[in-house]
């Protein structure tokens, strides 16, 4: 029998993820005594969503703890203390190692000019001329990483923090000198600053190894976010991916009763896999996704540590993975009857998201989170035809990390969407928090499709139905572009100029109506 899930709550047939907020942190969370995330009425689905919801709650509590520390001046404990000199040495080594990696990636890096303004700022930082705010802008993120890893508890503005920040400026300036030398083909240079030279002499070969012996999943994820935010790596990590990966990491940590990534074994992976398979609470696809998430995070850590995290090879290299069930695509697609029930029911709703999100998804195939991110300013007309821009950036994202401009189907215009659009205030058309898509799902399952024994997920139900509708006379390139499917080819950029948009609108006219 599966054990009780920590933080899993049942209230009158509805499920929630719940954590009690420590008393001292409540003022930073609207004086609430607990945080809850709704998981819906379906037990199996609620359990599958629980770990991701718990990760989000814990992140909010961690943020409140940081606010509390800043307000009270009471630092947290330091499990793995390092001196300012040791922190600077490790930062310097990581910069040099990363420099080598970038030179192996693309020639553009080695051809980039040195930022002379930043060099001058670093020198001012070393001299102590910068304010706390200025130091925070220059090396604050690096200092926070070492604080997060438990190497220091120094808080911004304290004397200890300024000492660390100035030492990090030394490391950054010395690295800049190495970059200049390396750009000219000289890889023999070494630091000249006595403080840094002395610190590096203590553990010249074991610094990175020791650091990664204590690393946790969240440390690796944070570093990967930093790298991808700089434009490095394949793609920037979407909030949905981060939520999924954090949920898998939390689940695996609970299973193995440990957080240190370096100590992971194949046996622990097999035990976790078998536990999920025998519980019967998760599909094989979900189990496969969780295992894949852990393998991906471990691979990030191995790369970040230059192979020192798992010196004997990746623990899950020989882990047998479950075979995913082959499902009939019709199981994930709304029937015409189901689609019509939802669209007709939406007409009676006054909340904008309930009224219009299903219609937008039904006649575009976009993902529900893409619809919920739309703003009034995203809609525009070209030659009398209406379009909307599904954007990327400034907190908005798509699965392919690419934006696209999609024609507004005439069914939406006839339904009165433009009247709603013109009357809406500037900004988001569908205001709501991160759980807004869950509320729409619950509205569909408990409203128009209540009593349906096994309805498809609302997002995929309409998306697959729309893609089936594209099988009429819509061109293949247009179909891929409209639904946001990535092929890795130039076809992904379909819809750039006005004439292409108008041609795309002509393709949209071929998509049949469901009502």
Domain boundary among 178, 204, 230: 204
Report the half-sphere exposure of 90 (CA within 13 A, side-chain side): 22
Q: How confident is the model at residue 219 (pLDDT cuts 50, 70, 90)?
A: confident
Instruction: State which of 73-77, 125-129, 237-241, 503-507 shows the largest mean pLDDT.
Output: 125-129
Q: What is the pLDDT of residues 425-435, one digit of tens each?
A: 999 898 875 56
Does 159 reside within a domain? Answer: yes
Q: How confident is the model at residue 209 (pLDDT cuts 50, 70, 90)?
A: very low
Q: Among 354, 343, 417, which Cα is nearest to 386's? A: 417
Average pLDDT estimate for 470-492: 65
Do 481 and 396 belong together in one domain? yes
Do 342 and 490 belong together in one domain? yes
Does 450 reside within a domain? Answer: yes
Do 225 and 284 belong together in one domain? yes
Q: CB within 8 A of 309, min separation 6: which ones?
A: 212, 215, 261, 262, 298, 301, 302
Domain boundary among 304, 320, 343: 304
Do 485 and 345 belong together in one domain? yes
Do 380 and 500 belong together in one domain? yes
Which residue shows structure tokens 């689905």?
45
Do 229 and 362 belong together in one domain? no
Q: How confident is the model at residue 150 (pLDDT cuts 50, 70, 90)?
A: low
Do 114 and 190 belong together in one domain? yes
- Using an 8 Å Cβ cutoff, are 477 and 507 in contact? no
Does 326 reside within a domain? Answer: no
Give the Cα separation of 392 and 397 in Å (integer): 5
Does 293 reside within a domain? Answer: yes
Strand partners, 379: 388
Joined tokens for residue 3: 């054990």
Kindly report the CATH number assigned to the domain that includes residue 489: 1.10.443.10
Does 210 reside within a domain? Answer: no
Do 195 and 230 belong together in one domain? no
Report the domain count for the chain: 4
Do 265 and 335 belong together in one domain? no
- Using an 8 Å Cβ cutoff, are 74 and 55 in contact? no
Does 209 reside within a domain? Answer: no
Does 104 reside within a domain? Answer: yes
Give the Cα separation of 399 and 235 in Å (integer): 10
Q: pTM to 2 decimals? A: 0.48
Do 404 and 284 belong together in one domain? no
Does 270 reside within a domain? Answer: yes
Give the Cα separation of 134 and 84 in Å (integer): 19
pLDDT at 485: 66
Do 42 and 99 belong together in one domain? no
Domain boundary among 19, 45, 72: 72
Instruction: Identify the burial level of 148 via C-beta atoms within 10 angstroms of its C-beta, where 0-12 means exposed, 13-18 middle and 19 or more buried.
Output: middle
454 or 367: whose pLDDT is higher?
Answer: 367
Do 159 and 247 belong together in one domain? no
Instruction: State which of 195-204, 417-426, 437-446 shows the largest mean pLDDT.
Output: 417-426
Q: What is the pLDDT of residues 87-114, one digit of tens each?
A: 999 889 888 877 887 787 778 888 888 8
SS (H, E, C) 220-233: HHHHHHHHHHCCCC
- Of 15-19, 53-57, 138-142, least confident by mean pLDDT is 53-57
- Mean pLDDT, rounded, of the chain: 82
Domain range for 277: 217-304
Residue 15, phi then psi, degrees to nearest 5: -110, 150
- Does the pLDDT value for residue 54 go beyond 50? yes
Average pLDDT estimate for 309-335: 76
Q: Among 404, 433, 393, which Cα is nearest to 508's? A: 404
Average pLDDT estimate for 47-61: 74
- Does the pLDDT value for residue 206 go beyond 90? no
- Does the pLDDT value for residue 514 go beyond 80? yes
- Does the pLDDT value for residue 153 go beyond 60? yes
């Amino acid at each position: 029998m599966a054990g009780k899930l920590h933080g899993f709550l049942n209230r009158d047939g509805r499920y929630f993820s719940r954590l009690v907020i420590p008393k001292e942190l409540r003022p930073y969370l609207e004086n609430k005594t607990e945080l809850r995330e709704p998981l819906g009425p379906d037990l199996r689905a609620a359990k599958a969503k629980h770990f991701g919801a718990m990760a989000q709650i814990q992140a909010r509590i961690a943020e409140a703890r940081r606010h509390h520390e800043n307000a009270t001046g009471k630092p947290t404990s330091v499990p793995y203390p390092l001196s300012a000199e040791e922190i600077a040495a490790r930062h310097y080594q990581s910069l040099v190692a990363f420099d080598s990696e970038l030179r192996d990636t693309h020639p553009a890096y080695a051809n980039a000019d040195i930022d002379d303004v930043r060099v001058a700022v670093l020198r001012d930082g070393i001299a102590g001329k910068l304010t706390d705010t200025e130091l925070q802008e220059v090396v604050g993120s690096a200092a926070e990483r070492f604080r997060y890893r438990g190497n220091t508890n120094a808080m911004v503005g304290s004397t200890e923090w300024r000492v660390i920040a100035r030492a990090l400026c030394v490391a950054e300036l010395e690295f800049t000198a190495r970059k200049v030398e390396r750009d000219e083909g000289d890889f023999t240079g070494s630091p000249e600053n006595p403080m840094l030279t002395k610190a590096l002499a203590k553990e010249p070969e074991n610094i990175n190894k020791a650091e990664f012996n204590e690393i946790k999943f969240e440390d690796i994820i944070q570093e990967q976010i930093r790298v991808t935010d700089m434009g490095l790596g394949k793609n920037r990590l979407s909030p949905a991916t981060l939520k999924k990966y954090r949920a898998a990491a939390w689940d695996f940590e609970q299973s193995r009763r440990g957080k240190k990534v370096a100590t992971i074994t194949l046996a622990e992976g097999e035990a976790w896999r078998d536990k999920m398979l025998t519980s019967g609470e998760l599909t094989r696809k979900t189990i496969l996704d969780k295992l894949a998430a852990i393998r991906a995070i471990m691979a990030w850590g191995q790369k970040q540590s230059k192979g020192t995290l798992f010196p004997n090879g990746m623990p899950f290299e020989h882990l047998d993975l479950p075979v995913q069930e082959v499902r009939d695509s019709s199981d994930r697609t709304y029937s015409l009857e189901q689609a019509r029930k939802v669209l007709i029911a939406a007409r009676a709703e006054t909340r904008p998201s309930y009224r219009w999100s299903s219609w937008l998804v039904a006649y575009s195939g976009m993902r529900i989170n893409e619809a919920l991110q739309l703003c009034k300013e995203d809609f525009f007309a070209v030659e009398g035809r209406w379009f909307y821009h599904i954007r990327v950036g400034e907190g908005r994202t798509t699965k392919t990390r690419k934006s696209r401009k999609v024609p507004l189907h005439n069914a939406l215009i006839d339904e009165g969407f433009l009247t709603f659009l013109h009357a809406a205030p500037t900004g988001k058309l569908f205001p709501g928090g991160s759980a807004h898509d869950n509320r729409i799902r619950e509205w569909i399952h408990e409203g128009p499709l209540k009593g349906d024994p096994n309805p498809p997920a609302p997002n995929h139900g309409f998306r697959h139905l729309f893609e089936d509708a594209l099988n009429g006379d819509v061109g293949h390139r247009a179909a891929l572009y409209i639904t946001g499917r990535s092929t890795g080819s130039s076809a992904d950029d379909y819809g750039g100029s006005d004439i292409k948009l108008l041609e795309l609108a002509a393709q949209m006219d071929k998509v049949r109506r469901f009502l």
